[in-house]
Structure 1
Amino acid sequence: MRRAQAFVAGTVLAVFALVGGAAGASAAPAASHAPSAVSGKTYVIGTDTTFAPFEFRDGSGELIGIDMDLIRAIAKNQGFSVEIRSLGFDAALQALQSNQVDGVIAGMSITDKRKQIFDFSDPYFDSGVQMAVAKSNNDIKGYADLKGKTVAVKRGSEGETFANSIKDKYSFTVKPLDQSATMYDDVKAGNSVAVFDDYPVLAYGISQNNGLKAVTAKERGSSYGFAVNKGKNPELLAAFNKGLAELKANGQYQQVLDKYLKDPSKAANQSFIDLLVASFPALLKGLGLTLLATLLSLIIALVLGVVFGFFKVSHLVVLRGIATTYVSIFRGTPLLVQAFFFYFGLPQLTGIPINVLTAGVLTLSLNAGAYMTEIVRGGIQSVDPGQLEASRSLGLGYVTSMRRVIVPQAVKIMTPSFINQFVITLKDTSLLAVIGFAELTYQGQQIYASNFRTGETLLIVAALYFIVITLLTQLSNVLDRRFNK
């Protein structure tokens, strides 16, 4: 199995509309012999983000790999089009269950447990498990050498299942991690002595200079399949099976496998500068989406903060109750849970799909709005109440007194906190990578998933965050000094 399916329940109920776009890739259209059931249709296909050689991005940012080449070739053969959504494995399964995608192809093992939820195609790849160690490690040559040691596995993967099945026999500890690149780095750092991974993924990583070497033969494993929701899209499943059979018959299937497994292109030994130059376009694109999501979220959050902030200081119990409930919900639940709820949970409850930008902005704006509500409340209440009473005694109404006397003073008090919340929201966009939003952190993950230079890539990502946040903070401080003299 590739990863365990994640079920995340939210406690938040909110409906907010925002128009956004989601990125995808399209396959070439129709073959003349395409079946009428799928001919001319477009299907949305979910996939993983970092599972080379089945799905990963090349230097230009194009999503490639065995799964990608197969689904596009089958679509062309059978006369339909596909829009690819790179979400991450767990997120792709959640998107399938919430009907945001029509199918998933992501190196997904066919298991009896998954068959209860999904309908699978005919197997398109037979996998297996291998063990590898750091290149410099000459002590670990087999399972017997693992006694008393720790091995890294990918959480929910076939490698984890195999490692758990033999750990008692050989007396070692299993450490589940999230991604192949993370596992490999854990072994190279000496935190684990070995890694168990799907053999084609491991073999490809070794060919790309991931710093490991295989020390055992391949263990028999399960098969990968294309999945749709149980009882839905049977025509898509049938077209996939028919197309797969035709690709095997005409030799295209073997060509795809040979391209990535038999003789994969070797990774060049890039300098740090070469890595920076090669990755900068993708990172710049991610930075643009980070700033866009931050800007949209802060505009909405500011409106929410002002409205609910005044509700919090209102004399009306109902308004105070509404504001208190809103703040309690969004400050009392993790941002990650909120992101999963808006992208997966809300579509399941309403039946209305939500694209990733909309879900991301909903999450960030409602979360930041709760904190801005408290900033506004604190700013207003920090102004001496006697000033409101004095202005009222001079004949000014409540609204006029607030607008001319209280709010101008409160704004000066609130501005530093607003700047701080702006920085926090910008950094919080990195959490949206888990739902497939292609912001800066997501782009960094795409890069080191294919080149396995995790430390250097994350250093570049961190530097970009630091530079942007520093510049925007300085700009905010300048505006603060200018308008709040």
Structure 2
Amino acid sequence: MKAAPFLTTVIAILSLGACALTSEPPATVTTTAAGDGQASSAAAAVPAVAADSALHDLLPERIKSSGVIRVATNIPYPPWEMYTTAGGQQPTGIDYDLSQALGAKLGVRASFDHMSFDGMIPAIQAGKADIVMAGLFDTPKRRQTLDFVDYAKDGYSMLVAKGNPHGLKDVADLSGKTVAVQSSTSEEASLDKLSERFASEGKPGVTVLRFPGDSEAFLAIKSGKAVARVQATSAAAYAVKTFDDGNAFELVNAPSVTEQFGGGIEGIGVAKSDGELRTALQQALQALMDDGTYLKILAKYGVEDIALTKAEINQGTE
């Protein structure tokens, strides 16, 4: 099924009474086996994947017994995770499709459970989720709590209004400007450091508008409340392509953006104590890379350039 335009995604979230844009999600969205309507269509978009009994045997007993891997995520973050229709609750996106393919390869069902961004890692720690899939960067700080099965590489770009009305060319132009960001992300911490750097150079800092939801940060640019958003290039490029049919935003790609914000490797987060699950996921992901399923999923969203060829553990840098 073709991914819905990003504006439709925003409308879908807003139609929930803005609850999904708060730090407390309105409800847990848990997918079930494909039935009829939207779920069938979304499932049909993912290449058929056959279960591998040897990989299934690698899973921890609790998951073999329950038949479910509980995936913590934060919707929306196109193209990684979003809803298929306005007002719907059927997820789609890179992480959703890949989670379903991994589950199929391992011979279990993968739920896809929406929660606040800053609640995902605590959910793993509390045993309320098994893994995190949310376009999450594998960083040394996060590896204090989680191990990561790495599955994509990405850089950073500045997302600005169409026509770039403020003439932004690189990170130096953010001095004295207002920038939108989603709270608890690596971008938020990097913007604070950038503002401190400007202050040490005698320049005006960055005014950071912090939002609990990804959609609010996009809307802040569209409404003129912020001049830019610094974001992983995959997500920013998808917003440029889909929001208002490509008429709302454009990208500023400059080496200084990735140098300041780091870019890096996205990974599937797993508790450090969950070695059996980590190994099973790593081998299942490698199987999907080898048989072409992984690349087909990325191609569906036009982001083949973020692909990795090896499923490795904890290879991200700061």
User: TM over 0.5, yes or no?
Assistant: yes
Once the two structures are superposed, what CA deviation does each residue of 1:340-375 show, in whole Å capped at 9, x if it has no partner? xxxxxxxxxxxxxxxxxxxxxxxxxxxxxxxxxxxx
Contact 2:194–2:206 under 8 Å retained in 1: no
Aligned to 2:159: 132
Q: How far has the Cα of 1:156 moved from its partner?
A: 2.5
Q: Which runs of 4+ in 1 moved over 6 A?
A: none
**Pair 1:193 & 2:227 matched:** yes
Q: Quick check: 93-102 or 143-152, which moved more?
A: 143-152
Q: Give 1:225 deviation, angstroms.
A: 1.3
Cα distance, 1:136 vs. partner?
4.2
Question: In the alignment, is residue 50 of structure 1 matched against residue 91 of structure 2?
Answer: no
Is 1:257 matched up with 2:298?
yes
Mapped contact 1:153–1:174 kept (Cα < 8 A) = no
Shift of 1:222: 2.2
Q: 1:23 to 1:177 in 2, by over 3 A?
A: closer
Conservation of the 8 A alpha-carbon contact between 2:55 and 2:284:
no
The structural deviation recorded for 1:82 is: 1.8
1:180 maps to a residue whose letter is D
Answering whether residue 267 of structure 2 is matched by residue 225 of structure 1, we say yes
* Runs of at least 5 residues in structure 2 that lack an aligned partner in the other structure: 1-22, 34-48, 305-318
The answer on 1:76 being equivalent to 2:104 is yes
- CA separation of 1:136 and 1:115: change in aligned 2, threshold 3 A: same
Displacement of 1:242 after TM fit? 0.4
Q: Show the counterpart of 1:215.
A: 252
Partner in structure 1 of residue 57 of structure 2: 36
8 Å CA contact 2:160, 2:229 repeated in 1: yes
8 Å Cα contact 2:155/2:264 also seen in 1: yes
> Would you say the 8 A contact 2:117–2:184 is kept in 1?
no
Report the CA distance between 1:99 and its aligned residue.
0.9
Structure-2 change in CA distance of 1:209 and 1:49 (3 Å): closer
Distance 1:116 1:215 in 2: 33
Q: Secondary structure at the match of 1:208?
A: helix
Structure 1 residues 30 and 262, CA gap change in structure 2 (3 angstroms)? closer
Aligned CA RMSD, in angstroms, stands at 2.6
In structure 2, give the amino acid aligned to 1:120. Answer: F
Corresponding position: 1:94 with 2:94: no
Alpha-carbon distance in 2 for matches of 1:178, 1:83: 23
Q: Which amino acid aligns with 2:290?
A: A
SS in structure 2 of the partner of residue 130 of structure 1: strand
**Cα offsets for 1:411-445 (capped at 9, x unmatched):** xxxxxxxxxxxxxxxxxxxxxxxxxxxxxxxxxxx
Q: Could you say which residue in structure 2 is the equivalent of 1:322?
A: none
**1:45–1:180 CA distance, 2 compared to 1 (3 A):** closer
> How far apart are the structure 1 equivalents of 2:180 and 2:205?
11
- Indicate the residue corresponding to 1:184 in structure 2: 218
In structure 2, do the counterparts of structure 1 residues 174 and 216 end up closer, same or farther at CA, with 3 Å as the change threshold? farther
Per the TM alignment, residue 132 of structure 1 is displaced from its structure 2 partner at its CA by 1.9
User: Which of the pair is proportionally richer in helix?
Assistant: 1
Superposed CA deviations along residues 436-465 of structure 1, whole A, max 9, x for unmatched, are xxxxxxxxxxxxxxxxxxxxxxxxxxxxxx
5+ residue gaps, structure 1? 1-7, 9-20, 264-485
For the residues of structure 2 that align with 1:36 and 1:195, how far apart are their CA atoms?
A: 44
1:131 counterpart SS class: strand
d(CA) in 2 for partners of 1:159 and 1:23? 26
TM-score by structure 2 length? 0.68
Paired position in structure 1 for 2:95: 67
Q: CA deviation at 1:149?
A: 1.9
Is the contact made by 1:45 and 1:105 (CA closer than 8 Å) also made in structure 2?
A: yes
Is residue 55–residue 283 contact of structure 2 (8 Å, CA) maintained in 1? Answer: no
1:85 maps onto 2:82 in alignment: no
Report sequence identity in percent: 27
Contact 2:166 2:227 in 1 (8 A): no
1:55 Cα deviation from its structure 2 partner: 1.0
Is the Cα contact below 8 Å between 1:152 and 1:186 reproduced in 2? yes
Larger radius of gyration: 1
Q: 1-side partners of 2:264 and 2:131: how far apart?
A: 20
Letter in 2 for 1:141: L
Distance in 1 between the 2:292 and 2:271 partners? 30
Asked whether 1:244 is paired with 2:265, we answer no
More strand by share: 2
